[in-house]
């Protein structure tokens, strides 16, 4: 999460400082706080909270005709959002300010996202930043307050082409540019009801611990080509710099959770991974095959009449054992 509120140091100094997270707290004490972001979401240690309702984007699709402003601040690409956009489903109304991206370099670490799930990174991460407009007059006032900001974290995987992302990627090579307004909701996951929630911080200086984080369970897809473009088209130094550096690996490492609890809007029974879900459904399918085999066996005419009674008793015991096994497997699959 980037918020452009670093003053009194130059563009070059910002770029250098952001590459040295271990030095952040020397200039910005909050960066050494106990409620920092990002974090690793260990799904088995999250707590289900049934009061967490689906989030509601407000005005995300009513973008109007006025262009958006996209700029490279030396750490990420930022898209400023109009003030009529916001988010519902939180204790207060939060007004949109901007969105930006974090990504890697396509290297062996294969990282790029800031948040991780069970220790695993995604290829990139989109952040949509909002401030609490019910309690505070603007972003600057809100960002120092514990309940001041709300950020949506959307994990991105490089697998399938996402036309909506071309609204951003087609203009990334510019230092600052006006881009056609577009439907911001097209960048969000379809499932806005399953997410993780915790209290954290900005992920870059000044690292204020003022963010209500929502990290969605569902990832969005972009293609490998789109991901490569994101990773190789921006520079962390200005155009007139003779030693220009590619802007890559602009994500912060996960921070200790400390005393915090990560809440989940969905229950443990809903948290089967695709692999687990496939395994359970496979078990049910095997049970159905067993039942079908038993049915065919009962209707086989090749069993001799004199052995039918004894074999029937044996088959009955075998079928009962199989039924008991299937009951266990089906309970697991549910």
Q: How far apart are CA 85 and CA 165, in angstroms?
A: 19
DSSP 184: G
What count of other Cβ atoms lies within 10 Å of the Cβ of residue 26? Answer: 11
Which of helix, strand or coil describes residue 269? helix
Q: How far apart are CA 224 and CA 218, in angstroms?
A: 18
Q: Is 37 exposed, middle or buried (0-12, 13-18, 19+ CB in 10 A)?
A: buried
Three-state secondary structure of 28-44: CHHHHCCCCCCCEECHH
Backbone angles phi, psi at 76, to 5 degrees: -165, 175
Active-site annotation holds for 75: yes
Q: CB–CB of 3/127 below 8 Å?
A: no
Q: How far apart are CA 39 and CA 34, in angstroms?
A: 12
DSSP for 189-244, written as a single string: -S--S-EEEEEE--SSTT--S-EEEEEESSPEEE-HHHHHHHHHS-BSS-TT-TT-
Active-site pick, 63, 75, 130, 217 = 75
Q: How far apart are CA 22 and CA 41, in angstroms?
A: 22
Beta strand residue intervals within 13-123, DSSP E: 40-41, 47-48, 56-58, 68-72, 77-80, 86-88, 94-103, 116-117, 120-121
**Short-list 67, 68, 71, CA closest to 11:** 71
Q: CB–CB of 97/129 below 8 Å?
A: yes
- Catalytic (active-site) positions: 75
């Amino acid at each position: 999460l980037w918020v452009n509120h670093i003053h009194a140091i130059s563009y070059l100094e910002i770029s250098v400082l952001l590459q040295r997270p271990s030095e952040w707290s020397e200039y910005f004490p909050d960066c050494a706080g106990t409620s920092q972001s990002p974090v690793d979401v260990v799904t088995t240690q999250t707590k289900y909270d049934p009061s967490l309702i689906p989030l509601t984007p407000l005005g995300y699709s009513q973008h109007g005709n006025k262009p958006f402003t996209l700029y490279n601040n030396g750490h990420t690409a930022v898209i400023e959002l109009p003030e009529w956009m916001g988010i519902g489903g939180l204790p207060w109304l939060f007004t949109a300010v901007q969105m930006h991206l974090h990504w890697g370099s396509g290297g062996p670490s294969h990282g790029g996202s800031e948040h991780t799930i069970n220790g695993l990174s995604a290829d990139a991460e989109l952040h949509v930043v909002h401030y609490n407009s019910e309690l505070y007059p603007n972003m600057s006032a809100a960002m120092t307050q514990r309940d001041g900001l709300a950020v949506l974290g959307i994990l991105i995987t490089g697998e399938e082409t996402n036309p909506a992302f071309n609204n951003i990627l087609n203009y990334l090579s510019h230092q600052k540019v006006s881009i056609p307004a577009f439907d911001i909701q097209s960048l969000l996951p379809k499932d806005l009801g399953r997410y993780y929630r915790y209290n954290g911080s900005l992920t870059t200086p000044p690292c204020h611990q003022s963010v209500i984080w929502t990290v969605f369970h569902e990832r969005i897809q972009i293609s490998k080509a789109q991901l490569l473009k994101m990773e190789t088209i921006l520079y962390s130094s200005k155009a007139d710099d003779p030693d220009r550096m590619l802007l890559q690996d602009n994500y912060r490492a996960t921070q200790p959770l400390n005393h915090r609890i990560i809440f989940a809007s969905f229950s443990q029974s809903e948290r089967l991974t695709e692999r687990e879900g496939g395994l359970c459904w496979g078990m049910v399918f095997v049970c159905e095959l067993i039942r079908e085999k038993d049915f065919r066996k009962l209707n086989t005419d090749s069993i001799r009449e004199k052995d039918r009674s004894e074999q029937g008793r044996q088959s009955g015991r075998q079928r009962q054992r199989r039924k008991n096994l299937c009951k266990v497997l089906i309970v697991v699959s549910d």
